[in-house]
């Protein structure tokens, strides 16, 4: 019995210990979770703006803390292990209280608007494995305490305002790091990796581009044998290319060392050791060494680089010698950039073996010999730039095989022979520049008939003969033609008036003769005309004075005669534009005056009957106009409650007043020429935008018309990218349209934050998706809607963004029906009478033809869309460009487009404005190409000539292609990161 009693006693004691232990554990877990919650509440108190309401459910009395937005708990410990609030547009500072989340493993606050310093207390999170604070506005130094994060393997502090040096103990102590991104900051000093103390064996990605680092690539990186990605571009690093280190990276795939001050081996004379060091990296894909001081020759072993290599950028260096034929072994190469070096010799014919080659840049070297005809066998070539060399011989006929060729640049060489007519088979050619050569013969009719040329044709400074071919008139999309400094003769074809997109025409320094065609003054968008130094005679056509866009004219050194007026386009000209024409006279400053009799009596004789019979006629016209106005006003006064007629649900003025807090000023979210927009909440908690039209304005009739137009059009159309009406309220004294409230505001808000606040930073992918959405919506209106509609006022403030950043086009108040679709509406003549008197759009977005009295058209919407594309890329309001630059946004971008360094600046600034949160550096290369495509599409859409603009169907297809390209590219690269 005694033994049994003891056993029972011991069991009870043991059970009591277990129970107390579990109670203690649960108590600790509960206390720990309470502390975690307090930390998050402290963090939230430092947030000054949450535009997306991301923290709306951070309320412990409603939602358990583990279910708060962005929070994840461990099921076993019931403690917070992950906080992911990336891309939420939060503004404020990062609270040090986050250090109390003692079991936190993942912290991601990237893509927000946090300011201030990085709290050093984050260094106490000893369990932290992933830390991402990129794409914020954080300042100051990287905390020394980060050296205690021994479990950290992913660190991204890129694209902030950090300065100072990298703490040596940080990189040396945290040996588990696999991914480090400190790029796009203002960090200085050397890269602090000591060969004996810092061994980062797990390192795979090191991105330090766009800082101010100095010194050499640290030898300690030779221990990082798993390295796949090294990007040190745009720093101030120097010394020899680190070939002794690179040979230890067998898994290397991407190496970016451009725009530093590296030199090659043996006193900057030997590149072979560097290229040899890459031989063992079997998966190597991209090499960029542009903009250094690299000397030496390209070694033959360059052909032994891994065959997976796709991009080789060696431009802007001091490389000399010839291009080794063995480079043709790189059969998967797509981009070859060797421009702006000192390369001589000939172009290897074996380049044709690189069947994947898409772009070849060999400009600004000393290449000689003939252009190999085998280049015509590379069927994927889209760009060939061999300009500024010493190439001789003729242009190969084989270029006719390059069906995808868009740009052929052969200017400033010693080419001779004739222009091959077979170039006319390059049906996608957009730019052809053969200027500054020794080319002879005629301009082939086949080349002159290249209707694909969209940008420019430059044949100047050659020895071309014969007359201007009539086929030039078929270039109805080309913007510039320059055939100056040749030996052309004959007359200027009047048919050039068919080059309706032409803005620049230079025919100077030839032997052209005969009169100036009157039709040249009818070129609708011509800005520059140069006829100087020819043998032209006759008078200057009056049509040139009437040209709307003409800014620059040069008639000097011809045989022109007659009277020259100083009116119209000639008002800004001086005598320099007319020198060398002794028989010219007129009112131009410095020009001799004409002597002739003024027949006053003839003028009086003509004016008297005009006055006698014209006055009664004007009175009759005035009376008719007044009657029309009275009839129109009477029609508009005949309105009843349109809610019933338009079949929308009823809502009362009282309900709208309550929903908007008595139309409080604090609820105003927008305003326009016809009224204001208020945010509100209906009785069923529906968040709405209430567009209240100001019926007290003098343009009440126009407002009433706009209201009915918008209601009827939106009622007829259905598309995911067009706004829908919830209901309307229409009385004589009050008119309002109730629309869904878009939580992310308008595109304008994303581009230009109000009151200089930090805005929702969208990334390039989001912008492309938004533009694709808009294109789809407008394409539907133009081509697929039951009634074909022209929007007429497309601009960023009329593009709304829902919770998923899907774009919806709004504001159809001044939209127009395309011809033939008026019958689909009611027969009420007031509702859909002519709208010709209304302004078709907003300043800066209005198509130029509208200013010349043309009717609204789908081409006008395409123009407005193009302006939006250019505005997104440049970050410039079109009205600002008009004021400060004195030109349209289209003209300003076109000038930058022709100057590569300025164009590159636009692209880089655009990428800096956009959020690139969690986007690898390699992906930014893809984004640069996308930005260039957006610029080109924007320029096409904003051509002055409406008939040469693409249709919205074409635009929607192109935007869809860009969207798919981005999605597919990012998926491919992100899969690589996961591996």
Burial of 616 (0-12, 13-18, 19+ CB in 10 A): exposed
pLDDT above 60 for 18? no
More confident site: 728 or 373: 373
pLDDT, tens digit, for every residue of 458-472? 999 999 999 999 999
How many angstroms separate the CA atoms of 567 and 545, rounded?
7
Which span out of 503-507, 596-600, 966-970 was modeled with the highest average pLDDT? Answer: 503-507
Work out the pLDDT band at 817, boundaries 50, 70, 90.
low
pLDDT, tens digit, for every residue of 472-519? 998 988 889 999 999 999 999 999 999 988 989 999 999 999 999 999
What pLDDT shows up at residue 711?
Answer: 65
What's the CATH code, domain 641-741? 3.30.200.20
Strand extents, DSSP E, 354-422: 359-361, 366-370, 383-385, 390-393, 407-409, 414-415
What pLDDT shows up at residue 226?
Answer: 96
Task: Give the sign of the dihedral formed by CA 693, CA 699, CA 704, CA 706.
Answer: negative
The tokens for 289 are 């060494």
> Torsion over CA of 817, 821, 823 and 829, rounded to 10 degrees?
20
pLDDT, tens digit, for every residue of 115-139? 999 999 999 999 999 999 998 999 9
pLDDT, tens digit, for every residue of 710-759? 566 666 677 888 888 788 887 767 888 888 888 888 898 888 876 555 54
How many angstroms separate the CA atoms of 864 and 842, rounded?
9
Mean pLDDT of 272-295: 95
How many angstroms separate the CA atoms of 736 and 728, rounded?
6
Q: Are strands 205-207 and 229-231 parallel, antiparallel or unpaired?
A: parallel
What pLDDT shows up at residue 110?
Answer: 93
DSSP secondary structure string for all residues of 86-155: TTS--EEE--GGGGG-TT--EEE--SSEEEEEPPGGGGG-TT--EEE--SSEEEEPPPGGGGG-TT--EE
Nearest-CA neighbor of 539 among 502, 507, 586?
Answer: 586
SS3 73: strand
Residues 6+ apart with CB under 8 A from 881: 844, 887, 888, 889, 892
773 is a catalytic site residue:
no
Cα-only R_g, the chain: 35
DSSP secondary structure string for all residues of 859-872: HHHHHHHHHHHHHH
What pLDDT shows up at residue 815?
Answer: 54
How many angstroms separate the CA atoms of 693 and 709, rounded?
13
pLDDT above 60 for 699? no
pLDDT, tens digit, for every residue of 144-161? 999 999 999 999 999 899
pLDDT above 50 for 235? yes
Nearest-CA neighbor of 859 among 872, 869, 871, 849?
Answer: 849
What pLDDT shows up at residue 301?
Answer: 96
**In this structure, are residues 180 and 198 in contact, taking their beta carbons and an 8 Å threshold?**
no
Mean pLDDT of 522-537: 92
pLDDT, tens digit, for every residue of 39-85? 999 999 999 999 889 999 998 777 899 999 999 999 888 899 999 99
What pLDDT shows up at residue 624?
Answer: 40
pLDDT above 50 for 217? yes
For residue 15, the surrounding DSSP H or E stretch is: helix 2-45
pLDDT above 50 for 418? yes
Other Cβ atoms within 10 Å of 471 Cβ, number: 19
Say what the pTM is. Answer: 0.68
What pLDDT shows up at residue 264?
Answer: 96
What pLDDT shows up at residue 15?
Answer: 56
- The domain made up of 27-227 has a fold known as 3.80.10
What pLDDT shows up at residue 203?
Answer: 96
Task: Give the sign of the dihedral formed by CA 948, CA 905, CA 333, CA 293.
Answer: positive
Architecture, CATH, for domain 744-979: Orthogonal Bundle (1.10)
Q: Are strands 552-554 and 528-530 parallel, antiparallel or unpaired?
A: parallel
pLDDT above 80 for 827? no
Nearest-CA neighbor of 773 among 808, 723, 724?
Answer: 808
What pLDDT shows up at residue 567?
Answer: 85
How many angstroms separate the CA atoms of 361 and 358, rounded?
10
Q: Which of 793, 811, 861, 923 is catalytic?
A: 793
pLDDT above 80 for 840? no
DSSP secondary structure string for all residues of 156-220: E--SSEEEEPPPHHHHHH-TT--EEE--SSEEEE-----TTT---TT--EEE--SSEEEEPPPGG
Q: Is 350 annotated as a binding residue?
A: no
pLDDT, tens digit, for every residue of 349-370? 999 999 999 999 999 999 999 9
Task: Give the sign of the dihedral formed by CA 390, CA 392, CA 395, CA 396.
Answer: negative
**In this structure, are residues 674 and 695 in contact, taking their beta carbons and an 8 Å threshold?**
no
CA distances for 482 relative to 465, 468, 472, 528, angstroms: 14, 12, 12, 11
Q: Where are the domains of the chain?
A: 27-227, 641-741, 744-979
Work out the pLDDT band at 16, boundaries 50, 70, 90.
low
How many angstroms separate the CA atoms of 891 and 448, rounded?
25
Nearest-CA neighbor of 40 among 78, 81, 95, 115?
Answer: 95
pLDDT above 60 for 613? no
């Amino acid at each position: 019995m005694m033994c049994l009693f003891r056993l029972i006693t011991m069991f009870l004691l043991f059970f009591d210990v277990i129970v107390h232990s579990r109670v203690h554990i649960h108590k600790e877990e509960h206390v720990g979770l309470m502390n975690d919650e307090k930390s998050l509440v402290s963090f939230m108190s430092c947030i000054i703006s949450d535009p997306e309401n991301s923290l709306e459910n951070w309320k412990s009395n409603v939602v358990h803390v583990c279910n708060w937005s962005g929070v994840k708990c461990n099921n076993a410990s019931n403690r917070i292990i992950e906080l992911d609030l990336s891309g939420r547009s939060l503004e404020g500072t990062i609270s040090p209280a986050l250090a109390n989340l003692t079991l936190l493993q993942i912290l991601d606050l990237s893509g927000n608007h946090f300011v201030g310093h990085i709290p050093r207390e984050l260094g106490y999170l000893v369990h932290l494995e992933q830390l991402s604070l990129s794409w914020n506005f954080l300042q100051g130094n990287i905390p020394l305490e980060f050296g205690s994060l021994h479990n950290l393997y992913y660190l991204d502090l890129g694209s902030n305002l950090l300065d100072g040096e990298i703490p040596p103990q940080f990189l040396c102590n945290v040996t588990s790091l696999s991914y480090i991104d400190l790029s796009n900051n203002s960090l200085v000093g050397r890269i602090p990796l000591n060969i004996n103390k810092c061994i980062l064996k797990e390192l795979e990605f090191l991105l330090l581009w766009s800082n101010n680092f100095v010194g050499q690539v640290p030898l300690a990186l030779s221990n990082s044998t798993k390295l796949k990605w090294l990007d040190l571009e745009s720093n101030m690093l120097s010394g020899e290319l680190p070939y002794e280190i690179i040979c230890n990276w067998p898994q290397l795939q991407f190496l970016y060392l451009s725009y530093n001050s590296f030199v090659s081996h043996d006193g900057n004379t030997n590149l072979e050791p560097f290229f040899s060091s890459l031989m063992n990296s079997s998966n190597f894909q991209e090499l960029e060494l542009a903009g250094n001081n690299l000397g030496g020759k390209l070694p033959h072993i360059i052909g032994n680089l891994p065959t997976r290599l796709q991009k080789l950028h060696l431009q802007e260096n001091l490389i000399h010698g010839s291009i080794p034929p063995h480079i043709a072994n790189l059969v998967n190469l797509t981009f070859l950039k060797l421009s702006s070096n000192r390369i001589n010799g000939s172009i290897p014919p074996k380049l044709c073996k690189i069947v994947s080659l898409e772009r070849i840049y060999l400009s600004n070297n000393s290449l000689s010999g003939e252009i190999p005809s085998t280049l015509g066998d590379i069927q994927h070539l889209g760009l060939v730039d061999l300009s500024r060399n010493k190439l001789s011989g003729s242009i190969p006929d084989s270029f006719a095989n390059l069906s995808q060729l868009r740009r052929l640049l052969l200017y400033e060489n010693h080419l001779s022979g004739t222009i091959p007519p077979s170039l006319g088979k390059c049906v996608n050619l957009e730019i052809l520049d053969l200027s500054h050569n020794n080319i002879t013969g005629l301009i082939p009719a086949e080349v002159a008939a290249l209707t694909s040329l969209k940008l420019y044709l430059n044949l100047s400074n050659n020895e071309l003969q014969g007359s201007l071919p009539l086929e030039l008139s078929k270039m109805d999309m080309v913007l510039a033609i320059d055939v100056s400094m040749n030996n052309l003769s004959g007359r200027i074809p009047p048919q050039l008036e068919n080059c309706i997109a032409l803005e620049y025409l230079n025919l100077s320094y030839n032997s052209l003769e005969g009169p100036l065609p009157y039709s040249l003054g009818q070129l609708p968008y011509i800005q520059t005309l140069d006829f100087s130094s020819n043998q032209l005679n006759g008078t200057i056509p009056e049509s040139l004075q009437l040209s709307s866009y003409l800014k620059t004219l040069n008639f000097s050194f011809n045989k022109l005669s007659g009277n020259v007026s100083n009116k119209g386009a000639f008002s800004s000209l001086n005598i320099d534009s007319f020198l060398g024409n002794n028989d010219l006279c007129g009112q131009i400053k410095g020009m001799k005056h004409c002597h002739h009799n003024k027949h006053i009596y003839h003028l009086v004789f003509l004016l008297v009957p005009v006055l006698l019979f014209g006055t009664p006629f004007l009175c009759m016209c005035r009376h008719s106009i007044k009657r029309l106005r009275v009839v129109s006003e009477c029609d508009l006064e005949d309105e009843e409650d349109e809610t019933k007629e338009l079949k929308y649900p009823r809502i009362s003025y009282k309900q709208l007043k309550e929903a908007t807090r008595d139309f409080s000023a604090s609820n105003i979210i927008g305003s326009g020429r016809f009224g204001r927009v208020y945010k509100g909440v209906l009785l069923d908690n529906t968040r709405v935008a209430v567009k209240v039209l100001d019926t007290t304005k003098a343009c009440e009739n126009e407002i009433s018309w706009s209201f009915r137009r918008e209601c009827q059009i939106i009622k007829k159309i259905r598309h995911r990218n067009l706004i829908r009406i919830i209901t309307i309220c229409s009385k004589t004294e009050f008119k309002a349209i109730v629309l869904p409230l878009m939580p992310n505001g308008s595109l304008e808000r994303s581009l230009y934050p109000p009151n200089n606040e930090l805005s929702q930073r969208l990334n390039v992918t989001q912008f492309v998706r938004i533009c694709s959405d808009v294109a789809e919506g407008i394409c539907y209106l133009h081509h697929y809607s039951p009634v074909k509609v022209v929007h007429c006022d497309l601009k960023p403030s009329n593009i709304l963004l829902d919770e998923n950043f899907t774009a919806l086009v709004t504001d159809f108040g001044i939209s127009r029906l395309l011809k033939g679709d008026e019958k689909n509406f009611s027969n009420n003549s007031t509702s859909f009478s002519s709208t010709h008197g209304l302004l078709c759009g907003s300043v800066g977005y209005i198509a130029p033809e509208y200013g010349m009295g043309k009717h609204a058209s789908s081409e006008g919407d395409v123009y407005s869309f193009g302006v939006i594309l250019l505005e997104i890329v440049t970050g410039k309001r079109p009205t600002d460009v008009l004021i400060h630059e004195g030109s349209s946004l289209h003209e300003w971008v076109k000038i930058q487009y022709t100057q590569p360094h300025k164009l590159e600046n636009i692209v880089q600034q655009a990428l800096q404005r956009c959020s690139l949160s969690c986007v690898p550096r390699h992906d930014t290369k893809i984004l640069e190409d996308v930005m260039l495509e957006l610029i080109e599409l924007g320029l096409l859409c904003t051509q002055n000539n409406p008939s040469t603009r693409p249709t919205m169907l074409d635009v929607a297809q192109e935007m869809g292609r860009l969207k798919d390209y981005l999605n597919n590219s990012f998926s491919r690269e992100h899969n690589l990161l996961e591996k």
